[in-house]
Amino acid sequence: MEFFAEMRIVMVGKTGVGKSELGNSLLGYKHFQPHALAGSSTSLCKYGTRMLKDGRKVVVVDTPGTFDTRKSDWKTTPEIIRCMELSSPGPHVFLFVVRIGRYTKEEQDAIDSLRAFFGEHILSYVVVVFTCKDVLVHEHMTLDQFIASNTELGTLLSNCNCRYAAISNWDHEIDRNKDVEAIFDLIQCTIQNNEGDYYTLDINDY
């Protein structure tokens, strides 16, 4: 697999699905303030960086529940533009974060908003990451069984060429690191499939 020197990642999803915790896992240190501690979700887009042992730079942007449909467009649009600026010249991937449990209408509305704002071709840059993987153990269910239980979720993954991974942000460090490596590998594959290209948006249109 060809390795690219930088991975620019933007995390999107509704409030409370574990974006900040996922971002901290990807960075390898606590940088983003989780929803539960903040009292409300991240209010502004923020970013953190990490250098991997092989020399690759990772840039992770955490969004404020940007596509949470309970927020009005006039409040979220400036932050969408900011997330693009923080990942300049453009993100290689958008991690659409979904909490394992019940795939709700709010989640579907969030992905619909993502597609409406950025265009259908954004799906070429989307990787779905499921958080709270440990729930599957308690429910005696596999990830594939959870996916199969919801038609809309299955359709989303098909549209993303079945690019998905799962992580338990609260798991033991060794297991969590394995999940992080799997996510990084999936991101690298996505960048390679896009021939190193990244998503661009003409912010002057907004």
> Half-sphere exposure of 35 toward its Cβ, with a 13 Å CA cutoff?
15
Task: Give the pLDDT of residue 169.
Answer: 67
CB-CB contact of 102 with 132 (8 Å): no
Of 13-17, 70-74, 82-86, 108-112, which one has max mean pLDDT? 82-86
Is the alpha carbon torsion for 64, 65, 71, 72 positive or negative?
A: positive
The model's pTM:
0.89
Place of tokens 């923080």: 86
pLDDT in tens, 132-160: 998 888 888 999 999 998 899 999 999 99
7-196 homologous superfamily: P-loop containing nucleotide triphosphate hydrolases (3.40.50.300)
What is the chain's length? 206
Task: Give the pLDDT of residue 41.
Answer: 45
Task: Give the pLDDT of residue 61.
Answer: 96
User: Which of the four pLDDT bands, split at 50, 70 and 90, describes residue 115?
Assistant: confident
Domain spans of the chain, in order of start: 7-196
User: d(Cα 150, Cα 181) in Å, to the nearest integer?
Assistant: 27
User: d(Cα 182, Cα 26) in Å, to the nearest integer?
Assistant: 11
User: d(Cα 61, Cα 51) in Å, to the nearest integer?
Assistant: 15
